[in-house]
């Protein structure tokens, strides 16, 4: 059954060809965030607020793929009912997300999943950064494995290490 699901998933993907490439000095105005870390959503919302204040346009896709749905979820959170059987997310927010040409995408997931892989493989983005997961690594441009267990520290570690390596500075991308 799993191989049939994977076959259907692969058949459903239409790969995108990015029209833009990342370069140093580029302004990251369109910022994407893909996350399933809903217990730490406050840190992500804080980051998004800072980016909006700088004049950037952050867009977050949050996922909750468990059967039990908590009472308080951010608006537009993708639930299990928003995912088709082969693992393809659906809905207006997903359509909007896939239509934007992002400068940078932060993939902040605790567990790799088919919906995350689908978004990574079909989105238009110049640079994709995230935490290391074996199944997602081929679709990311930069992976960081953080030695810290707390989400806020991991996210800051990802920002700092990617900025040092890719941009040669300590300021956020």
For the entire predicted model, the pTM comes to 0.81
Is 20 a member of any domain? Answer: no
For 11, list phi and psi in degrees, rounded to 5. Answer: -65, -30
Strand, helix or coil for residue 20: coil
Position 29 scores a pLDDT of 83
Is 120 a member of any domain? Answer: yes
CA distance 90 to 18: 22
CA distance 144 to 37: 16
- CATH number of the domain enclosing 60: 3.40.50
Is 143 a member of any domain? Answer: yes
Contact 5, 85 (CB under 8 A): yes
Tokens coding 142: 């930069």
- Cα-Cα end-to-end distance for the chain: 42
Position 2 scores a pLDDT of 66
Position 53 scores a pLDDT of 93
Is 172 a member of any domain? Answer: no
Helix axes 41-53, 151-162, angle to 10 degrees: 40
Position 38 scores a pLDDT of 82
Is 19 a member of any domain? Answer: no
Is 21 a member of any domain? Answer: no
Number of domains in the chain: 1
Tokens coding 8: 């259907």
Tokens coding 122: 């079909």
Position 172 scores a pLDDT of 52
Is 98 a member of any domain? Answer: yes
pLDDT in tens, the chain (173 residues): 567 666 666 667 666 655 555 555 556 688 999 998 887 888 888 988 998 998 989 999 998 887 777 777 777 788 888 888 888 999 999 999 999 989 889 998 888 899 999 999 899 888 899 888 888 888 898 888 866 677 778 888 888 877 777 666 655 54
Other C-beta atoms closer than 10 Å to the C-beta of 70 total: 10
Query: What domain range is 81 assigned to?
Result: 2-14+27-167
Tokens coding 146: 């953080």
Is 173 a member of any domain? Answer: no
Strand, helix or coil for residue 77: coil
Indicate left, alpha or beta for 101 from its phi (over 0: left) and psi (-120 to 50: alpha): beta
């Amino acid at each position: 059954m799993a191989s049939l699901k994977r076959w259907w998933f692969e058949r459903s993907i239409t790969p995108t060809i990015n029209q833009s490439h990342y370069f140093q000095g580029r302004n990251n105005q369109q910022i994407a965030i893909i996350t399933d870390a809903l217990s730490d959503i406050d840190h992500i919302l804080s980051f998004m607020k800072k980016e909006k204040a700088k004049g950037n346009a952050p867009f977050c896709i949050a996922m909750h793929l468990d059967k039990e749905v908590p009472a308080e979820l951010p608006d537009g959170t993708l639930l299990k009912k928003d995912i088709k059987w082969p693992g393809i997310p659906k809905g207006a927010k997903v359509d909007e997300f896939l239509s934007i040409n992002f400068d940078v995408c932060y993939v902040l997931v605790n567990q790799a999943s088919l919906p995350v892989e689908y978004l990574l493989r079909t989105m238009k983005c110049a640079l994709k950064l995230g935490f290391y997961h074996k199944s997602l690594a081929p679709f990311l441009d930069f992976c960081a494995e953080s030695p810290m267990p707390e989400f806020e520290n991991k996210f800051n570690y990802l920002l700092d290490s990617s900025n040092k390596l890719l941009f040669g500075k300590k300021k956020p991308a």
